[in-house]
Amino acid sequence: MRQEYAWRSLVLAGFLGFIGISIILQIVRIQNSTEANTFRQLTADYANVTETFYPDRGEIYDRNGHLLAGNKTVYELSVDLKNAPDKNAIALAVGVQLGLNPDDLYNRMANPPEGIQNLVLADNVDSDRAAALQQLKTAADAKAKESGTTSSLDGLGFWAHPQRSYPEGSLASNVLGFVNLTRRGYFGIEEKYNDLLAGNKVNIVVPTDPSKAGDIPRIPNGTTLVLTINRDLQAATEQILDESLTKYGAQNGTIVIMDPQTGEILALAASPRMNLNQNENYGDIFRNAAEYDRAISMPYEPGSVIKILTTAAALDSGTVVPSSTYLDTGELLIGGATIRNWDNQAWGVQDITGCLQHSLNICMAVLSDKMGAQTYYGYMNRFGLGRLTGIDLAGEAAGRLKIPGDSDWYPVDLATNAFGQGVSVTPIQLMTAASAIANKGRMVTPRVLLAMLRDGRRYNSSTQYAGSPIKAETAQTLNQILAVSLEKEASSALVPGYRIAGKTGTAQVPTEFGYDSTATNASFIGWGPLDDPKFLIYVWLEKPSSSIWGSETAAPVFAEAARQTILLLNIPPDDIRNQIAKP
């Protein structure tokens, strides 16, 4: 009998073991099946969602820490159409707070685009208006809870996100550029360094469990930039420009201030300007992109300011020395055309100082003719005419320097180019070329970026040199000639207490049928203090109506800009600096 029970126990145990092994094998099969993988994926998708995160755009500061471009929090207002029982109440609340038409909002919710569940009603709503709407929603939710009904504003949602903000409106707008609603930078620094400022967007799998919110990694912000711009000097320069446009009746203009030893742009003012917080008005202010920053994007025929380069080339090549003279008869036939001075007068015997003091076209034509085309254009090429300077702002134009071999170059161009006619440059090009004269023969590359800040570290930019077109001795000689020519002429560009080197320019405006004798571009380029230049200033006034001459318009504007620069940079007068320098 006992054997019978033992046999039954063994059979039962074997049967149960078989069932257990079968269950284990089935579990293993299910875990490795396609259905199991699909189930695991669905579970993972339920627990996590993939979202795109955009880092905060890097801020922009002036050299002294003043914020020029930052970010502010704005809101996107959207409605969950499936969970919005009272679309009319939402349309009314949003419409009243944002100044929108409630009927239009209701129609958008009642007739949404196909497949849209979460409809955006408004974006870039400022914090105050968003807060007012949130208070309305909170009140509606509380009232619904008390009465046991559904809130009239159910389905209305708020999503906070950063938006570019410019705390000083239009200040330095030509330098900064702006960011549109798609987070893309246009013009100036915002476009040139868009990728650095914007940072890298990141797709991250985010847990839906609030308790795991700490698992979301921190997204690094975009790179913060520090500019060479001096905010106070920038504001003063813009004011000087605006007052000058009114005083001299000029259509537009620009003033640029640069350190000729480092290439750092200390101020860049151009007209017109725009409030960067209202960049939707761009099309109403500017007719084309070249007008956004005339200093780098709009080449023009500058006239006599080019004479400093022609003279530098003649002195450096040994074609003339400072005491060289020529007889100015008032006319010069060259290349089949007659060249005349600006006043159509003969000035008799003149040396190089007299040539620049009286701004004689015939003198420059004589110098370029003596040098010959190969030498003259070789120097102009080394000065960078007709080429980009490489300034770190978007939209730079190269200008045009015709040379022998071009289909539209004629022998007379050798003469006219020498006094600034038939050649087009931007202010920043001519400043770069002139930096070689102010900086002992070394030409600097202009720049606006001073440093980058990222991950708690600062990366400074450095001075870049664009060549040495002339010898240091030539630069020193020409500096003295230019200073003496201004002093002999009692120029309105002079600044008491400081020796200045510089040159005026007055150029007729080219048209389709020659030159307009009633309209000019008035310019002045100058630098100082002469013994150790700390600033180089370019002034360009377009079509001044009070006087066509640069000596009566652009020169006094230069003097005022120089005075403000000296004051804000705390540059001592020459006699004090010389006393300090004595042992």
Domain encompassing residue 507? 231-581
Instruction: Find the CATH number of the domain harbouring 112.
Output: 3.90.1310.10
User: Do residues 373 and 267 both lie within one domain?
Assistant: yes
User: Do residues 472 and 565 both lie within one domain?
Assistant: yes
User: Do residues 418 and 536 both lie within one domain?
Assistant: yes
80: amino acid identity, one letter: D
Residue 133: predicted pLDDT: 86
Report the alpha-carbon distance of residue 451 to residue 224 in Å, rounded.
9
Nearest to 120 by CA among 61, 76, 65: 76
Residue 52: predicted pLDDT: 62
pLDDT in single tens digits along all 583 residues of the chain: 455 556 666 666 666 666 767 777 666 666 666 666 665 665 555 556 666 667 889 999 999 999 999 998 888 888 888 888 888 888 888 888 888 988 888 888 888 888 788 888 888 888 888 888 888 888 888 888 888 888 888 888 888 878 899 999 999 999 999 998 788 999 999 999 999 999 876 766 666 555 554 555 667 789 999 999 999 999 999 999 999 999 999 999 999 999 999 999 999 999 999 999 999 899 999 999 999 999 999 999 999 999 999 999 999 999 999 999 999 998 999 888 889 998 899 999 999 999 999 999 999 999 999 999 999 999 999 999 999 999 999 999 999 999 999 999 999 999 999 999 999 999 999 999 999 999 999 999 999 999 999 888 999 999 999 999 999 999 999 999 999 999 999 899 999 999 999 999 999 888 877 788 788 999 999 999 999 999 999 999 999 999 889 999 999 999 999 999 999 999 999 988 888 766 6
User: Do residues 161 and 235 both lie within one domain?
Assistant: no
**Number of compact structural domains in the chain:** 2
User: Do residues 240 and 160 both lie within one domain?
Assistant: no
What's CA 485's distance to the chain center, in Å?
A: 36
Whether residue 516 lies inside any domain: the answer is yes
Both structure tokens of 450 = 């001073």
Whether residue 110 lies inside any domain: the answer is yes
User: Do residues 252 and 158 both lie within one domain?
Assistant: no
Residue 340: predicted pLDDT: 92
**For 302-404, where are the alpha helices, taking DSSP H only?**
307-316, 352-357, 361-371, 373-382
Residue 571: predicted pLDDT: 95
Whether residue 23 lies inside any domain: the answer is no
Q: Edge-to-edge strand order for the sheet containing 535-542?
A: 265-270, 252-258, 535-542, 514-528, 501-511
Instruction: Find the CATH number of the domain harbouring 287.
Output: 3.40.710.10
Residue 20: predicted pLDDT: 67
Residue 8: predicted pLDDT: 67
Report the alpha-carbon distance of residue 334 to residue 342 in Å, rounded.
17
Report the alpha-carbon distance of residue 303 to residue 510 in Å, rounded.
11
536: amino acid identity, one letter: L
> Please, which residues bridge with residue 53 across strands?
202
Whether residue 354 lies inside any domain: the answer is yes
Last residue of a domain, one of 138, 165, 192: 165
Tell me the CB-side half-sphere exposure of residue 211, using CA atoms within 13 A: 1
Residue 372 makes CB contacts below 8 A (sequence gap 6+) with none
Containing 36, the helix (H) or strand (E) segment is helix 34-47
Residue 413: predicted pLDDT: 94
Whether residue 170 lies inside any domain: the answer is no
Could you tell me the CA-to-CA distances from 103 to 12, 65, 95, 505 in Å, in that order?
A: 78, 47, 9, 61
CB 174 within 8 A of CB 268: yes
Whether residue 208 lies inside any domain: the answer is no
DSSP category for residue 230? -
Residue 425 backbone dihedrals phi, psi, to 5 degrees: -140, 165
User: Do residues 119 and 250 both lie within one domain?
Assistant: no
Residue 212: predicted pLDDT: 53
Report the alpha-carbon distance of residue 527 to residue 263 in Å, rounded.
13
DSSP category for residue 59? P
Report the alpha-carbon distance of residue 132 to residue 220 in Å, rounded.
31
Position of tokens 């993939």? 50
Strands 224-227, 60-61: pairing kind: parallel
Last residue of a domain, one of 119, 146, 165: 165
Last residue of a domain, one of 165, 192, 210: 165
129: amino acid identity, one letter: R
Report the alpha-carbon distance of residue 248 to residue 418 in Å, rounded.
28
Nearest to 108 by CA among 136, 129, 77: 77
For residue 15, the tally of other CB atoms under 10 A from its CB is 10
User: Do residues 264 and 372 both lie within one domain?
Assistant: yes
Report the alpha-carbon distance of residue 12 to residue 23 in Å, rounded.
17
Report the alpha-carbon distance of residue 233 to residue 508 in Å, rounded.
31
What's CA 375's distance to the chain center, in Å?
A: 36
Quote the pTM value: 0.85
User: Do residues 553 and 423 both lie within one domain?
Assistant: yes
CB 546 within 8 A of CB 249: yes
Peptide bond into 529 cis (omega under 30): yes
Whether residue 35 lies inside any domain: the answer is no
User: Do residues 305 and 445 both lie within one domain?
Assistant: yes
271: amino acid identity, one letter: S
**For 469-573, where are the alpha helices, taking DSSP H only?**
472-489, 554-569
What's CA 115's distance to the chain center, in Å?
A: 41
User: Do residues 406 and 296 both lie within one domain?
Assistant: yes
Could you give the angle at which helices 307-316 and 361-371 cross, rounded to 10 degrees? Answer: 40
Tallying the residues shown for the chain, one arrives at: 583
User: Do residues 236 and 147 both lie within one domain?
Assistant: no
Whether residue 317 lies inside any domain: the answer is yes
Nearest to 305 by CA among 388, 383, 242: 383
**For 399-469, where are the alpha helices, taking DSSP H only?**
411-418, 427-438
Tell me the CB-side half-sphere exposure of residue 482, using CA atoms within 13 A: 33
Residue 118: predicted pLDDT: 84
